[in-house]
Structure 1
Amino acid sequence: MDVLHMCIRKENDHYWFYKMDEEKIPLQVLKNQSPESVFGKETHTCIDSATGPLWRATYITSDETLKENNTFSSNILFTFHHAIVDGYTAINICNNFVKVLNDVIGGNVQKLYDFGQLNDGHETEELIMQRTEYLKMNPEYCTKIRGIESKFENVNLLLTEYFPVSKDAEKKTKYIHGELNEEITSNLIKVFKSKGISFHAGICSVFNWVLMDILIEKGLTNDEIELPTKHALNLRRYWKKSSSGQLGSHALFIRLLSKTDKNVGDNFWEYAKEFNKELKSVIENMQEIDLIAVKNLKYTSVERQYDDSLKLLEKVPPPPITPPSLIPHPHKTFYGTSNIGDISSILKGQRDNVSIKFLSCGTSIRNTTSNMIIFFQTLQGRLGYCMAYSAYLVTDDYANSFEEKLIKKLKFISNSK
């Protein structure tokens, strides 16, 4: 079923995807409005999932004077229900919209456009069951996995202590959008690569450095703390078949605990290399898959006996729109990241009649327990980012300070040798 024709309805105590009763084109046209303000409003406006569709578009025109080369700038915002897309697939669908717009302007409209079919994630479910069996056969490793989750969930949190939010703070998501130019982005990529560090690990190491500086400024006296962070992972990387056209929400968050000392800036490259090593290990060993799989096991006695005492829970098909990655978790993280990477292969931003000048992606987190999620991607050689933060968990002062220090440190790193 094409994702743009879907809605969600409840039947027999489960939610299911249905094809809409009638086709709708949810497009609104606005004039001379701030894209940032429209972005914020859109992410706080619910989608009628029972009627559908699970997406909408907002086109923002302007009175900008026509330029000499007959080009003009405008903004278009796509809003998607998370049930049908994750970061990867949202970009995929946007690419198809850009293609359609280019064809319309060029007068070469096709009769039919395929925006992609929904994948129900059965590959991931099969993998989870395989890992469940592996845990049954490897009790020591199973104990280790349980310990990792317990340690992460019980780590000492300092953010709310040093940046208290008033009890009557509005429960909404705020956003900070930005972009680094091609020179800085290119230098960052080169520097991290020369050190044997992935771009994601390098950027997130800088995030941790920023956090430590902010906490120290607020009075932190600890010589070393453990920073808990979460990092979005595209589950398609574990699928055996090609996933290029597999739409839907197929992501989960990697959990990391990083020992970070107050002098992290002085030994930054050693710190970043260790962060890179830990991140790579978690991904390659499918640790987050195992953290889901372990929930399929239970004890049948008070003693930790792993032979006959480990039993498989009865397998009940989960609701198709609530994958593990979207189930709320306790508020146990300073920030989360969603890095789509270099999206040039997904989004063709330079076409005959249309070109993309700026792209920003984000999500509403007002009803989740995350305090901040930083979205970033590289398009046409530029690093774009969107910081989404919960106004009832994080203060504006903290968010603004984070961005200011982040940009300063990224520029410093880009000039490193």
Structure 2
Amino acid sequence: MPGDEGEAAQEARGATGTRWLRPASMTEGVFDMLQARGMVITVYWLTLRSAEPLQEDHVRRALLHLLRKVPPLRTCFRRRGDCLWLCEVDKEAVDFQVVEGADPRRVTEDLMNRGYASHEGPLWRARLVRGAVDEDCPLEEVRASFPHTSHLVLGNHHGIADGTSNARTYNLLLRILNDVIAGRTIDDQEQLGEMASSEEFQEMVSAKLRELEKDPENLQRLLEEKEKVMTSVPLLLQCYPSVQGTQVKTEVIFEELDEDTTRRFFRRCKSEGVSVGSAFTALINGATIDLAKKAGRTDETFTLNEVHALDVRRFLSGDTSKHLGSHITAFSHAVEAPAAWRESFWDYARTLHHSLHRTVKQDPMLEECIYIAMAGEEGVEAMLATVPPPSEDCQSSNLRNLDPLLPDALAGEHVQAVRVLRGSSNFSSFTCHFVHTFRGRFAYTQCFSSHIITEDTAKALTRAIFDNLPALL
């Protein structure tokens, strides 16, 4: 481990030899409970191009340096009495394998559906998948200078890292890999950031909950509204019955827009006064309505329940640029959509956009408050111990433009990333949508629960989204 252990650290390690760092947050505890069942496990798939074929030893050494420089990768979770704690792993270990002749998508799904021994660690994995020499690379200048393709698939326990933390970590990995190949010295003492606690945000949640409790009638109304949403049946599952008797598993579908279509999509969103995320959410909802109409639904309007991931760093005081770990929450949202949504798409998208942004501005902590109030003395972890049936029509995660977070992945002299795809196994949803932009191309992943909906239905939803998009530009 980097650095010498001082007296305080030795005291924290205690008689058992475990170095106790701090009590786990509610979010970390929930993620730890779920990942043990193969749920909410994050995976990134990086397509790499290199000047020479990547050597296994170079990648292994880069991953070891990454472990030493990124605190979350050195953590695990252990019980201390009745409390779950974040701890430092007892020894250096990197779970790395080279996979020959495999489909990277299947490797991605494998890592997405495998839990971790959270009391021991490591809580992350890496797989190097050899790619074909003639595999597609849309960037001509990169294709010419970096003719060799490989894939690096990286999975992690969601309790140790969110999307922002992962992007910064994998940018560092590409920097280290280029340094290893070049033979440069790497300083393992220099750390990427810190495994920051969520204490400030939890205090904000507690303050908001105390405020809500001063108006019991309003709080009861909010709880009843949430209960109604949680017991509703998603539109697609009303029209396409759930799959029965299959293994609990999340599978993935990937799509990517070319640079020209991405530019036109973004320009149109800007001219209409709508964020890209809002427009794409409206497009997902429209595609869902199309499939419902195809199945025979004749409603004039539909109200679709959405859940959106939210980075809470934006609400914290001070400089959060070094905050690693899992600093996310989620919020629910719904607005009415017309059945004839194409004819008024941008009006609908603007309505959705303003409603989404108003919710984020006014009530970013409301969802956690409601869950805490619903859970009562048993706690949120106990409430989520039984997987509820799907209730949301759409779950989404939008990391926006990844280029500023991955500059070293774009500019390495020996190896560069040309495509980044990401996703997570599902918990209570039947489908989740992940979007971002990388190298000027809009990338999309649908993670669908193949034990709930068929692959044909998931593919039909994806096709409806991307078949409709060009006509709206």
Do the structures match in fold with TM over 0.5?
yes
Q: Percent identity among equivalent residues?
A: 23
Query: C-alpha separation between the residues in 2 aligned to 1:383 and 1:279?
Result: 21
Aligned partner letter, 1:84: I
Deviation at 1:180, TM superposition (A): 0.8
Aligned to 2:168: 92
After superposition, the Cα gap between the structure-2 partners of 1:45 and 1:157, relative to the gap in structure 1 and judged at 3 Å, is closer
Correspondent of 1:218 among 295, 308, 321: 295
After superposition, the Cα gap between the structure-2 partners of 1:293 and 1:68, relative to the gap in structure 1 and judged at 3 Å, is closer
Aligned partner letter, 1:255: S
Aligned to 2:182: 106
Aligned to 2:58: none
Deviation at 1:328, TM superposition (A): 5.9
Deviation at 1:140, TM superposition (A): 6.3
The CA deviation string for residues 83-107 of structure 1, in whole angstroms up to 9 with x for no partner, is 1011221112111111111111222
Aligned to 1:307: none
Aligned partner letter, 2:172: N
Query: C-alpha separation between the residues in 2 aligned to 1:136 and 1:224?
Result: 35
Aligned to 2:80: 11
Query: C-alpha separation between the residues in 2 aligned to 1:91 and 1:68?
Result: 26
Aligned partner letter, 2:338: D
Aligned partner letter, 2:74: H
Higher deviation after alignment, 76-85 or 341-350: 341-350
Aligned to 2:415: 354
Deviation at 1:393, TM superposition (A): 1.2
Correspondent of 2:205 among 128, 141, 151: 128
Contact 2:96/2:126 (<8 A) preserved: yes
- Which segments of 5 or more consecutive residues in structure 1 lack a partner in the other structure? 299-312
Asked whether 1:167 is paired with 2:227, we answer no
Deviation at 1:144, TM superposition (A): 5.2
Deviation at 1:156, TM superposition (A): 5.1
Aligned partner letter, 2:410: Q
Correspondent of 1:191 among 268, 276, 283: 268
Deviation at 1:57, TM superposition (A): 0.9
Asked whether 1:396 is paired with 2:465, we answer no
Query: C-alpha separation between the residues in 1 aligned to 2:144 and 2:371?
Result: 62
Q: Secondary structure at the match of 1:356?
A: strand
Aligned to 2:101: 32
Deviation at 1:75, TM superposition (A): 0.8
Contact 2:243/2:454 (<8 A) preserved: no
Deviation at 1:141, TM superposition (A): 5.0
Asked whether 1:382 is paired with 2:441, we answer yes
RMSD of aligned residue pairs (Cα, Å): 2.6
Deviation at 1:152, TM superposition (A): 2.6
Q: Secondary structure at the match of 2:119?
A: coil
Asked whether 1:58 is paired with 2:127, we answer yes
Contact 2:124/2:157 (<8 A) preserved: yes
Aligned partner letter, 1:96: L
Contact 2:430/2:448 (<8 A) preserved: yes
Aligned to 1:334: 393
Q: Secondary structure at the match of 2:194?
A: coil
Contact 1:372/1:389 (<8 A) preserved: yes
Contact 1:135/1:294 (<8 A) preserved: no
Q: Secondary structure at the match of 1:384?
A: strand
Aligned partner letter, 1:76: L
Aligned partner letter, 1:103: D
The CA deviation string for residues 234-279 of structure 1, in whole angstroms up to 9 with x for no partner, is 1111112222221111212221122122111111111111100110
Correspondent of 1:290 among 366, 370, 389: 366
After superposition, the Cα gap between the structure-2 partners of 1:323 and 1:200, relative to the gap in structure 1 and judged at 3 Å, is farther
Deviation at 1:296, TM superposition (A): 5.4
Contact 1:146/1:291 (<8 A) preserved: no
Query: C-alpha separation between the residues in 2 aligned to 1:128 and 1:138?
Result: 16
Query: C-alpha separation between the residues in 2 aligned to 1:163 and 1:12?
Result: 46
Contact 1:230/1:256 (<8 A) preserved: yes
The CA deviation string for residues 190-241 of structure 1, in whole angstroms up to 9 with x for no partner, is 1111111111101100111101011000111211221111111111111122
Correspondent of 1:82 among 158, 163, 187: 158
Query: C-alpha separation between the residues in 1 aligned to 2:276 and 2:257?
Result: 14
Aligned to 1:306: none
Query: C-alpha separation between the residues in 2 aligned to 1:98 and 1:190?
Result: 31
After superposition, the Cα gap between the structure-2 partners of 1:21 and 1:159, relative to the gap in structure 1 and judged at 3 Å, is same
Query: C-alpha separation between the residues in 1 aligned to 2:416 and 2:234?
Result: 44
Decide which structure has greater helix share. 2
Contact 2:133/2:147 (<8 A) preserved: no
Query: C-alpha separation between the residues in 1 aligned to 2:435 and 2:386?
Result: 22
Query: C-alpha separation between the residues in 2 aligned to 1:65 and 1:163?
Result: 39
Contact 2:146/2:415 (<8 A) preserved: no
Deviation at 1:45, TM superposition (A): 2.3
Deviation at 1:63, TM superposition (A): 5.8
Deviation at 1:139, TM superposition (A): 5.4
Asked whether 1:20 is paired with 2:89, we answer yes
Contact 2:165/2:325 (<8 A) preserved: yes
Contact 2:303/2:337 (<8 A) preserved: yes
Q: Secondary structure at the match of 1:60?
A: strand
Aligned partner letter, 1:19: E
Query: C-alpha separation between the residues in 1 aligned to 2:370 and 2:276?
Result: 31
Aligned partner letter, 1:31: E
Contact 1:337/1:373 (<8 A) preserved: yes
TM-score of the two chains, using structure 2 as the length reference: 0.77
After superposition, the Cα gap between the structure-2 partners of 1:23 and 1:148, relative to the gap in structure 1 and judged at 3 Å, is same
Aligned to 2:350: 273
